[in-house]
Each structure stands twice: as C-alpha cells, then as structure tokens.
Amino acid sequence: MDEQSVKIGYIYNFLAKSVFWPRKISPTHTGAGNIHIIGDIQLNRCLKTNIQSKPNSSMRVNLEYSPGGENIPDCHILFIGKGAADAIPSCV
C-alpha cells in the first residue's frame, strides 16, 4: 500500500467513522462532509478518484483544493501538505 492510499483511508475514515460530530455540523446531518486540501495536488487527485469510484451512500463528500491556502471554505477536515507549510499562518 502506498503513502497516498494510507492518507486517503485515514482522511475518509476519520470523517465518516472516527469522530463524533455535534449533530448541527455532522456530515451525516448536513448531507455532506467537507474536506479541503492545501498544497498536495496528488492527494487531491487520488482522493477525488477514490470518492467517485466508491461513493458512500450515507454521506456525500465535497472536496476542495487550493495550492497555497487561499480562500479556505468551512470544512470538516483541513489537510495541509508538506509543501504548503508556509501557508499555515494564513490558515489559522
């Protein structure tokens, strides 16, 4: 199993199974889990392919990407790739 597959599994399972979300913002209550990836275009592509090929009927996943951390929407998970470490101050 390669590094991208491990990251995808971790992110998706964290969103769908590992967190008890307050009902008001729960991905299953709102109908979608929102993931934003900064600076890791390869992970973004792999995750997008994975989501499209294996849809979860109980939850839709919205995936957003930005190369440098600009215009981050509200999201359940924010993943910042190694190459985007200097974007962290603008994200927090």
Is residue 57's pLDDT more than 60?
Answer: no
Instruction: Check residue 92 and give its pLDDT.
Output: 61
* Top-ranked range on mean pLDDT: pick from 7-16, 42-51, 79-88: 42-51
Is residue 89's pLDDT more than 80?
Answer: no
Q: Please report which confidence band the pLDDT of residue 77 belongs to, taking 50, 70 and 90 as the band edges.
A: confident
Predicted TM-score of the model (pTM): 0.76
3-class secondary structure for the chain? CCHHHHHHHHHHHHHHHHCCCCHHHCHHHHCEEEEEEECCHHHHHHHHHHHHHCCECCEEEEEEEECCCCCCCCCCEEEECHHHHHHHHHHC
Instruction: Check residue 58 and give its pLDDT.
Output: 63
pLDDT exceeding 90 applies to what percent of the chain? 0
